[in-house]
Amino acid sequence: QNNNSSADKAVVVAGELLERSLETGGNMVIQRAPAPMKGRLKIWGKTGTDFILYKRLKDQLDPAGIMSPGRFVGNL
């Protein structure tokens, strides 16, 4: 229970830090997090206008979508 509570707090704090970063024109990338928390965090921060470029590149390099699906910017 205590571990879940700590994880919940960390997710909330990470979300608040991302919002503050965005308010000042920045962004935030989380470099390391426990696997159970990754699905609850915006690991790559806010997806920018360059997302379409990342998507096109991923589609070219991995047309079958089998290389680490969902682990890159915007869950690519």
> Does residue 51 sit in the same domain as residue 34?
no
**19 plus 29 within the same structural domain:** yes
With bands split at pLDDT 50, 70 and 90, how would you rate the model's confidence at 69? Answer: confident
- The answer to whether residues 57 and 69 belong to one domain is yes
Nearest to 33 by CA among 71, 75, 76: 71
Q: Could you read off the pLDDT of 50-60 as tens digits, one per residue?
A: 899 999 999 99
Residues in CB range of 41: below 8 A, 6 or more apart: 11, 14, 15, 30, 33
**37 and 23 in a common domain:** yes
Boundaries of domain holding 53: 47-76
In a shared domain, residues 11 and 29: yes
What mean pLDDT value characterizes the chain?
90
pTM of the predicted protein model: 0.70
Residue 14 and residue 38 in one domain: yes
State mean pLDDT over 24-50. Answer: 90
34 and 51 in a single domain? The answer is no
